[in-house]
């Protein structure tokens, strides 16, 4: 089960765990290596500087990206609590429908979940203030990392390299006895006035950590492009950042869909490794909502007799549902019917595939399905990591060669190609 938990974590493309594995464990070390190898074709001195900058930049960015965003979110939550609000109240509940809404939930859960209802009433009576607090949380948890990663960090990295760059430039002047223009220091900043309309606060307040990372990546990319040391470096960075965003947040989900469709396997390895869950499927005693329709889903979830069912257990684990400790659905949370219904159908389809199987065939089917899902996840991580760590840098280097005519880092390369005769700084 421990192995299944690990595989499940790195296979959840809606969480940060695959990003941690790809980013810190595979992508960054590989990028540092290929950066050095690419630049050493023309100058080992610049290759060292390029690899050094990549190391400082990538790991500092990862620290902010993976740790800073959740930390800022928690700090903001503590401030919201000091204002006597519960930050878990979902603003989407202000959109009332037949089965959920802030007024509906207050009335429905006033006796079964009185503390949660108090939180709802507090927000209902102070909607504008609560919206401002959540908007502030979103802005803080994205703008602060963007400012640091996109503008402050590159300045620090450039400054840390300046003396070494100057030393290399001086040495090359002495070796070549000629004057060269080494770095173009033209940098510019742009002010972006962003106006938000409609229900952006409700949408942004429900962003997961990964969603915020994607937003932060966009702002971070803008910062890196605008703080680049010359035009060629701006183009080089823009190409890289566009590829990174696609390969981090979009392509892994495409790969996951394709592999799952190819193998017909949808359920998570944790579920497939749960002997009691599998036992209920085998015996036909597992409890599920009648259908994926809203009325059937809510009828099942709100029936206290189903509180220990595996459907509710795993719906909570995979964040499709949130329940209180007493088995009552948390009235502060908005239920995404589409996601919950899809989850129900995945379990139902799995059950249908096991019908009419002998005990021996059933056991084989479970093992084969578990192996297929695990293989899908590991293949996804390996393939997406390969694309990020090797294919993207290679494409970036080809693009760089096309626009600059050189293999050297555009921010470090001289106006004329430098060849470090002694191959060191």
Packing angle, helices 28-39 and 44-63, rounded to 10: 160
Q: Please, are residues 345 and 267 in contact by the beta-carbon 8 Å criterion? A: no
Residue 350's pLDDT is 93
pLDDT at 415 over 60: no
Q: How far is CA 36 from CA 46, 54, 149, 239, 240, in A?
A: 8, 9, 22, 19, 16
Q: Rounded to whole angstroms, how far apart are CA atoms 102 and 187?
A: 50
The pLDDT confidence band at residue 187, using thresholds 50, 70 and 90, is very low
Residue 185's pLDDT is 34
The pLDDT confidence band at residue 8, using thresholds 50, 70 and 90, is low
Residue 70's pLDDT is 82
225 versus 126: the higher-pLDDT residue is: 126
Residue 275's pLDDT is 93
Kind and range of the H or E run holding 218: helix 209-226
Q: Taking residues 286-312, what's their average pLDDT?
A: 96
Average pLDDT of the chain?
82
**Is the sign of the CA dihedral 279, 282, 286, 288 positive or negative?**
positive
What is the b/e burial string over 388-411, where b = at least 16 CB atoms within 10 angstroms of the residue's CB?
bbbebbeebbebbeeebebbbbbb
The pLDDT confidence band at residue 115, using thresholds 50, 70 and 90, is very high
Q: Taking residues 184-201, what's their average pLDDT?
A: 43
Pick from 57-66, 116-125, 161-170, 279-288: least confident: 161-170
pLDDT at 78 over 90: yes
Q: Taking residues 69-76, what's their average pLDDT?
A: 88
Count of C-beta atoms within a 10 Å radius of residue 174: 9
Q: Taking residues 278-286, what's their average pLDDT?
A: 93
């Amino acid at each position: 089960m421990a192995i299944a938990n690990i595989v499940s974590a790195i296979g959840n493309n809606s969480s940060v765990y695959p990003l941690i594995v790809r980013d810190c464990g595979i992508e960054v070390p590989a990028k540092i290596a290929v950066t050095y190898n690419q630049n050493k074709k023309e100058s080992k001195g610049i290759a060292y500087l390029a690899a050094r900058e990549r190391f400082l930049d990538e790991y500092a960015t990862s620290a902010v990206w993976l740790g800073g965003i959740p930390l800022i979110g928690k700090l903001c939550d503590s401030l919201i609590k000091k204002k006597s609000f519960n930050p878990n109240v979902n603003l989407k509940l202000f959109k009332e429908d037949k089965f959920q809404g802030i007024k509906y939930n207050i009335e429905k859960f006033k006796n079964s979940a009185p503390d949660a209802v108090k939180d709802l009433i507090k927000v209902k009576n102070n909607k504008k203030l609560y919206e401002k607090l959540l908007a502030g949380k979103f802005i803080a948890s994205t703008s602060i990392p963007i400012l640091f990663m996109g503008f402050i960090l590159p300045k620090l990295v450039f400054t840390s390299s300046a003396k070494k760059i100057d030393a290399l430039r001086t040495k090359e002047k002495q070796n070549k006895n000629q004057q060269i223009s080494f770095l173009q220091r033209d940098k510019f900043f742009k002010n972006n006035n962003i106006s938000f309309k409609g229900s952006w606060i409700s949408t942004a307040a429900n962003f997961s950590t990964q969603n915020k990372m994607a937003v932060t990546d966009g702002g971070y990319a803008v910062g890196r492009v605008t703080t680049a040391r010359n035009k060629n470096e701006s183009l080089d960075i823009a190409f890289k950042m566009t590829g990174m965003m696609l390969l981090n947040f979009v392509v892994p989900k495409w790969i996951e869909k394709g592999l799952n469709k190819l193998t017909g396997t949808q359920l998570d390895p944790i579920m497939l490794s749960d002997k009691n869950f599998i036992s209920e499927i085998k015996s036909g005693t597992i409890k599920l909502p009648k259908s994926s329709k809203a009325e059937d889903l809510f009828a099942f979830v709100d029936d206290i007799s189903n509180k220990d069912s595996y459907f509710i257990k795993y719906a909570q684990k995979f964040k499709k549902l949130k329940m209180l400790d007493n088995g009552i659905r948390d009235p502060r949370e908005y239920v995404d019917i589409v996601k919950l219904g899809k989850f129900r159908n995945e379990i139902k389809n799995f059950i249908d595939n096991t019908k009419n199987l002998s005990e021996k065939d059933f056991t084989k089917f479970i093992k084969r399905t578990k192996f297929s899902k695990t293989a899908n996840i590991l293949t996804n991580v390996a393939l997406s990591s390969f694309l990020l760590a090797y294919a993207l840098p290679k494409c970036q280097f080809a693009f760089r060669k096309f626009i600059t005519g050189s293999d050297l880092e555009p921010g470090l390369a001289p106006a004329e190609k430098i060849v470090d005769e002694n191959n060191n700084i």
